[in-house]
């Protein structure tokens, strides 16, 4: 089944890299990935480096993403950026509902669904993130949390909207901690999420959805993760900052 799903390798730079650092990254990175024909490659720089990334990635197959966008087209929302603004800047994707935004900017499942809908309406592909935290996993609440985040977030989209998103399973306990989920743990969560999609939408929607894994993905664990049929790619934080490391991840077959 997964052979029909094209792999996506995405980087999330978070609050790292100035414009000049962005140009230096792409100058080193692009020659190392060749045409990367076996997967889609996406990079999400901070807003101020998007223009530099779009320019540097021109003519390559690397798509550029925003790390967040608002649910309105415009308005009195100081500090926010609309999906239309990202499109005009050259983005094709946007990360929605990252756990750091849920944690530090109080993003709710309802905001995640509104933001996803607005991004889709603007023509962006949302990369919708969800995942349980350490306590939730330790107390056996993983499935409950995932199902809640799913139903209130991407599960609230229409079937047509849903068919155009990417999902990212990012267990909070694995983000930036070096504690990657084992391939089996990640696959079990992906399988559960696919079941949620089946229940909410259809078997076809579940079979077609690409689910990325995120949380301490590194060149030395990517192979084991990608060997799992359930994992359709990765959303990489720290290791996407280094052109050699991210190229090694992208080049994994
Ligand atoms: P790390 O790869 O640094 O754990 O970050 C994962 C992540 O949050 C990607 O969005």
Give the pLDDT band of residue 94 (cuts 50, 70, 90).
Answer: very high
Q: What are the pLDDT digits (tens) for 192-229?
A: 999 999 999 999 999 999 999 999 999 999 999 999 99
What is the rounded CA–CA span in Å between residue 228 and residue 253? 12
* Catalytic residue flag (residue 98): yes
Average pLDDT over residues 73-93: 98
Determine the distance separating the centroid of ligand 1 and the alpha carbon of 176, expressed in angstroms: 6
What is the rounded CA–CA span in Å between residue 109 and residue 74? 21
Q: Give the ligand 1 atom nearest the CA of 238.
A: 3
Contact 125, 91 (CB under 8 A): no
CA triple 174-236-43, angle to 5 deg? 155
Q: Give the ligand 1 atom nearest the CA of 168.
A: 10
pLDDT given at position 36 = 84
């Amino acid at each position: 089944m997964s052979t029909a799903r094209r792999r996506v390798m995405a980087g999330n730079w978070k609050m790292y890299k100035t414009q000049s650092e962005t140009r230096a990254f792409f100058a080193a990175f692009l020659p190392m990935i060749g045409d990367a024909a076996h997967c889609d490659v996406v990079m999400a720089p901070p807003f101020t480096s998007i223009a530099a990334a779009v320019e540097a990635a021109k003519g390559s197959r690397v798509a550029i993403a925003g790390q967040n966008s608002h649910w309105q087209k415009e308005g009195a929302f100081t500090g926010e950026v609309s999906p239309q603004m990202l499109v005009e800047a050259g983005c094709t994707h946007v990360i929605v509902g990252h756990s750091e935004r849920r944690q530090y900017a109080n993003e709710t499942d309802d905001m995640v669904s509104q933001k996803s809908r607005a991004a889709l309406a603007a023509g962006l592909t949302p990369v919708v993130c969800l995942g349980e935290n350490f306590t939730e996993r330790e107390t056996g609440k993983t499935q409950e949390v995932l199902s809640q985040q799913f139903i209130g977030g991407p599960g609230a989209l229409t079937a047509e909207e849903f068919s155009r998103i990417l999902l990212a399973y990012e267990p909070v306990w694995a983000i930036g901690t070096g504690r990657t989920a084992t391939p089996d743990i990640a696959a079990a969560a992906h399988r559960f999420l696919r079941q949620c999609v089946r229940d909410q939408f259809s078997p076809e929607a579940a079979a077609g959805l690409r689910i990325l894994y995120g949380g301490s993905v590194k060149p030395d664990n990517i192979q084991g993760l990608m060997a799992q049929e359930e994992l359709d790619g990765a959303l990489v934080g720290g290791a996407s900052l280094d052109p050699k490391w991210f190229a090694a991840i992208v080049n994994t077959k």
